[in-house]
Chains A and B, each alone.
Chain A
Amino acid sequence: MKYFDIVVVGAGPAGLAAANAAAAGGGSIAVVDDNPVAGGQIWRGGPQQQSDIRAGAMWAALQAAPNVSFLPHTRVLYAPAPGQLQVQTAATAGSAGSATTLHFNHLIIATGARERLLPFPGWTLPGVTGAGGLQALVKGGYPVAGKRVVVAGTGPLLLAVAATLRERGAHVVAIVEQAPLPALARFAAGLAATPAKAAQALRLFAQLRGIACLRQSHVVSARSNAAGVLDAVRVQRGKSGAEQVLDCDYLACGYGLLPNLELAQALGCATTVHHGQTVVQTGSWQQTDVPGVYCAGEGTGIGGVDLALVEGRIAGLAASGQTQRMQAALDERAHWKKFAARLARAFALRPELATLAADDTIVCRCEDVPHGELRAHTSWRSAKLQTRCGMGPCQGRMCGGATEVLYGWRPDAVRMPIAPARIATLIATADV
């Protein structure tokens, strides 16, 4: 059992900003993250390694604060009772891992987002990853030097991924963006409202000179060599619809971001639909409708690092009772929410992306359930019962993002545990 005044779940920009803001309030604060290192996805590799100086500054401040603890390798599994979270640490060398119950007065959910991956023939081949997925792997030391990579999908993330890959010595064959040029042009024009973002975009374009950028294009299939590993992708290009084969060693393909809502839903927080996406409903101080529980960052709507930082700050100030310092942050949040709206509009998914799967294309990767079996069902629930789609260890996170686009299904209510849990951890509840 551990007691904290404030628990922050997620050590990405929103979580770190929340902890940083709350620290001055003097209460005890824990920042919990399932990764070995802080930073979430945007600051993957650690806050000290980032070119964004805010990351390093925030981390240094948190290290210096005596009332802030960082709990890495730690995954939240469920709430045994209000004001409590059951967590487990990963088994590492020499340790079986442990379970404990965190008791808190205030909880800030900053669990970020994951990628939406859509199925197409060959997407399960070794060598096909998410776009952010390959970037995350590479920041963990995954070797790409000298490898040919196609970066595909949608969103500004593709540019950041391509830049990271180039820095690590990969040969980026092409960037394949499904959004059409007019939408991208409007988004680019809108960057005038956020000069720092515009500058970032220009830097990225400079880093990406010489890489073919295809628009209104998408990967239709991936092909393997005799060893069963990816060796090429087939791309449908632009308005003409002409197909092109690109030889590659990796395909980093992601179709936008989805908020990680499971913890908020497990705690009973109300959700709402915003820009076509289900998000956690929050009030002006980032509070959810569950007393003492706040949500900040991608969970309230995909909006990028700047929105995450300011929402985290507001939640941290609110949870620690420092509301008198909030006004500047509230103004800043409004500004970044408009950016988030422009993002959602520009990178909306074209309907063709829902039609790529063939009957034998696997949709549920955990249980190998193909599109042909799933499309006969009229609901997530009936499909799950009859095919096992969604019953695997990812608990429907990967296939849920796809089945929503392919069949229009909404997943079931979330049940505990929200991640695979060691039985020893579940037993430990009895000791509370």
Chain B
Amino acid sequence: MNDVDAIVIGAGIVGAACADALSERGLRVAVIEHDTAGGGATAAGMGHLVVMDDNLAELALTSYSVALWREVAGERPQRHEYSNCGTIWVAADEEELAAARTKAHTLSTFNLACTMLSPAELYAREPQLRPGLAGGLLVAGDGLVYAPKSTRILLDRAMRRGAVTRRARVTAIEDHAVVLDDGARVEAQHIVLAAGTGSRALLPELPVQPKKGHLAITDRYPGFVRHQLVELGYIKSAHASSGDSVAFNLQPRPTGQILIGSSRQFDTVDPAVEPAMLARMLRHAATLTPALAELNVLRCWTGLRAATPDGLPLIGPSGARRGLWLATGHEGLGITTALATAQLLAAQMQGESSVIPYHPYLPHRFR
């Protein structure tokens, strides 16, 4: 590993996207990963590609990135297991329906196709939803990929351009260098830290906290739901800054299986599935799709999201070491925003202009 321009720490979806973007610009890239590529939060997550509008910066990043995904995954949809299933935001009451209208208005200012759904239109599309709902909002451009495969595809693209990978654990980051667990020291002009919740082990001062989530996947029940389903009440639970919460999130995988989420816990890094937390999440999901209770779950697992205090990722110079860049802290939007993250990072590194402003994601906002 001599004469490397950029070392990427972490071969998850974000690291792989960065390796792809940097190698595309002619940089010689080395990716260092201690486990299997895409094996961390990338494998644990839902792989959704979803536009989120909690604030303008999030909307800009997610809509830019989802558009990039449609290009990349659209080239070889089967390889990514890409599905353009769209998202329906479900409104349980008039208050949530009003929130849906606001969201529709916001998204349309970004030219994102969205359609308000009356209750009849909602049930015509999703008959498994419980009666008594107020309606919903269909965002047609959303979709999903199978993230471990997408990670592999991005890494392979980088490797075809000469990028190399090394299986090792980084134990320290120095100015323009990393130290590995076998004692080796590798130098490069640029170091990119894309290690998710593992990033804090290398930079303890990073404003990144692990947020545990539970997931479950069913056997094959094709057609049970046709779109990704999220409740508008999601926003209330997802951004609680402490405590445990669950939210309704169903996703139809191309296999016909249903992926069920989501939950958030701040106070633990134990990867074990907690039966009580799982039960709470599934019970909540079943209140919105009652027939879900009769389906079989094949697997349950957990993952740790890397969360920042303001819910936006860290994309830019770290300031803690010379040559060190951050690409981490993506919370529940790592898959969605991986491609945009890589483009914004590459633009900053090369001094290019970027498609959207990168200022809101700069790490120095937390100093």
A–B contact via C-beta, under 8 angstroms: yes
Which residues of chain A have a CB within 8 Å of any CB of chain B? Answer: 78, 80-81, 86, 96, 379, 381-382, 385-386, 391-393, 395, 415-417, 420-424, 426-430
Known contacts A385-B43, A420-B219, A429-B278; can you find 16 more A-B pairs with CB under 8 A? A382-B36, A382-B39, A385-B148, A386-B149, A415-B273, A415-B299, A415-B301, A416-B273, A420-B296, A421-B296, A423-B216, A423-B286, A423-B294, A424-B293, A428-B279, A430-B280
Which residues of chain B have a CB within 8 Å of any CB of chain A? Answer: 35-39, 43, 148-149, 152, 216, 218-219, 273, 275-276, 278-280, 282-283, 286, 292-301
A417 to B292, CA, bound (A): 17
**Is A423's CB under 8 angstroms from B219's CB?**
no
The 6 closest A-B CB pairs, nearest first, are: A430-B279, A429-B279, A420-B296, A424-B293, A382-B36, A385-B148
**Is A420's CB under 8 angstroms from B283's CB?**
no
Closest CB in chain A relative to B214 CB, distance in Å: 11
- The residues of A that contact B297 with a CB separation of less than 8 Å are 417, 420-423, 426
Q: Which residue in B38, B149, B275, B295 is a CB contact (below 8 Å) of A416?
A: B275
- The residues of A that contact B273 with a CB separation of less than 8 Å are 415-416
**Is A80's CB under 8 angstroms from B275's CB?**
yes
Closest CB in chain B relative to A106 CB, distance in Å: 21
**Is B276's CB under 8 angstroms from A386's CB?**
no
**Is B299's CB under 8 angstroms from A395's CB?**
yes
**Is A427's CB under 8 angstroms from B298's CB?**
no
**Is B293's CB under 8 angstroms from A391's CB?**
no
Closest CB in chain B relative to A337 CB, distance in Å: 35
A391-B298, A395-B298, A424-B294 known; A381 vs B282 contact (CB < 8 Å): no
A415 to B299, CA, bound (A): 8
A421 to B296, CA, bound (A): 5
**Is B293's CB under 8 angstroms from A422's CB?**
yes
Q: Which residue in B39, B278, B292, B300 is a CB contact (below 8 Å) of A385?
A: B39
A427 to B280, CA, bound (A): 7
- The residues of B that contact A392 with a CB separation of less than 8 Å are 298
A78-B275, A427-B279 known; A381 vs B299 contact (CB < 8 Å): no
Can you list 30 A-B contacts with CB-CB less than 8 angstroms, sorted by A residue number?
A: A78-B275, A80-B275, A80-B276, A81-B275, A381-B36, A382-B36, A382-B39, A385-B36, A386-B148, A395-B298, A395-B299, A415-B299, A415-B300, A415-B301, A416-B273, A416-B275, A420-B296, A420-B297, A420-B298, A422-B294, A422-B296, A422-B297, A423-B282, A423-B294, A423-B297, A424-B286, A426-B282, A429-B275, A429-B279, A430-B280
**Is A423's CB under 8 angstroms from B295's CB?**
yes
